[in-house]
Amino acid sequence: MKKAAIIGLGDISGIHIGAIRQNPEIVLAAVCDIDEAAKERAPENVPFYTDFREMIARERPDVVHICLPHYLHVPVSCEAAEMGVHVFCEKPVAMNTKEAEELAAFEASHPEIYMGVCLQNRFNESVEMLKGFIDSGEYGRVTGTRGIVPWSREKSYYDVKPWRGKLETAGGGCMINQSVHTLDLLYHLGGPIAELKASVSQILDYGIEVEDTVAASLTYENGAHGLFMATNANYKNESVQISVQMEKAEFAIIDNVLYRIDAEGNRERLVEDERLPGTKFYYGASHGKLIARFYREIETGGRDYVHVKDAVMSMRLIDGILESDRTGKKVAI
């Protein structure tokens, strides 16, 4: 049995705590948050700390889960790893490409430490099946992709936690926070992206520094075309939509269901994702699968999980989109 600890008791920590407690092979040994008031949100009978270094030194967990604001992901991950514990970090992997590449280099220089990144949507049932079709070559090569994230965030979302609206602490808005999973899937499914052209904007009058809406045209190395669109200005949170056109078939993930679409537009239902209950269904339900895999790989000495190096491309895409918007030109990835 492995001992887990949580650093940061914000919104996403509840998903991690639930996944840990549902796994009989993991015990939640401790939680930590610099805000003493967060103790009220801590699970009953679980030791609470305000200093993660003290927590690690006293409790000696096997794995720490980093559930902190973005600007703390890299420094806390590195410090925890240097204390000899494995690290499972929430998305985004870093604030930008430079940070992500530095963390990937750190990961490579510490092979004894497992460093996983929570890009759990790769393990949704729909994505796994679609990835299998693509890799098999049964339907030919990918010729087009589309990823759309139509979400909503009220001004209070940024007012309650001001770090979310600041470039210095969040690194960005709807891309790095809400739709990094979709960017990850567009290259996970479609393959290497050669260049892009993009537009980034703020269409909500919130007085924040980060973007709330983005559109990008992607060109893959194999010549395929992709479209990425994301916004926090929708009237409600709707399911992410992913489409992949191949030479011999078209597939779409709509409302967490994978469909095969024929030439007449008829849909054949193939598989549905497990759903997360409650209002935040759009998070997906694969945190538990990825967390279980990460711990299993530690136990067996395997390496089949989402590494830091696997998540670097999502940062390159975000930085490329921002550069394209700034220059008005295509950007090579």
CATH of the domain at 260: 3.30.360.10
Q: How many residues does the chain have?
A: 333
| Selection from 133, 262, 242 nearest residue 187 by Cα | 242
What's the pLDDT score for residue 252?
Answer: 98
Give mean pLDDT, residues 237-260.
Answer: 96
What's the pLDDT score for residue 282?
Answer: 56
Task: Give per-residue pLDDT as tens, 113-160.
Answer: 999 999 999 999 999 999 999 999 999 999 999 999 999 999 999 999
Give mean pLDDT, residues 248-252.
Answer: 97
End position of a domain, from candidates 73, 99, 120 = 120
Report if residue 73 sits inside a domain: yes
Residue at token pair 């930008």: 96
**Both 319 and 215 in a single domain?**
yes
Sheet containing strand 213-220, edge to edge, reads 267-272, 257-261, 250-254, 241-246, 142-150, 225-231, 213-220, 193-201, 331-332
CATH for 52: 3.40.50.720
Report if residue 303 sits inside a domain: no
Among 153-157, 192-196, 276-280, 310-314, the minimum mean pLDDT is found in: 276-280
**Distance (Å, whole) CA 148 – CA 125:** 19
**Both 133 and 76 in a single domain?**
no
**Both 255 and 111 in a single domain?**
no
Q: Which residues make Cβ contacts (< 8 Å) with residue 185, sequence separation at least 6? A: 121, 122, 127, 147, 242
> Is residue 88 within 8 Å of 68, Cβ to Cβ?
no
**Both 80 and 19 in a single domain?**
yes
Amino acid at 101: E
Report if residue 37 sits inside a domain: yes
End position of a domain, from candidates 59, 87, 120 = 120
Q: What percent of the chain has pLDDT over 70?
A: 97
Task: Give per-residue pLDDT as tens, 298-312.
Answer: 999 999 999 999 999
Give mean pLDDT, residues 217-227.
Answer: 98
What's the pLDDT score for residue 275?
Answer: 79
**Both 254 and 221 in a single domain?**
yes
Task: Give per-residue pLDDT as tens, 59-115.
Answer: 999 999 999 999 999 999 999 999 999 999 999 999 999 999 999 999 999 999 999
Q: What percent of the chain has pLDDT over 90?
A: 96
Residue 279's pLDDT band (boundaries 50, 70, 90)?
very low
The total of structural domains in the chain comes to 2
Report if residue 207 sits inside a domain: yes
What's the pLDDT score for residue 284?
Answer: 63
Report if residue 284 sits inside a domain: no
Report if residue 300 sits inside a domain: no
What's the pLDDT score for residue 281?
Answer: 56
Find the domain containing 78 and state its range.
2-120
**Both 171 and 250 in a single domain?**
yes
Give mean pLDDT, residues 264-289.
Answer: 81
Report if residue 290 sits inside a domain: no
**Both 186 and 328 in a single domain?**
yes
**Both 105 and 144 in a single domain?**
no
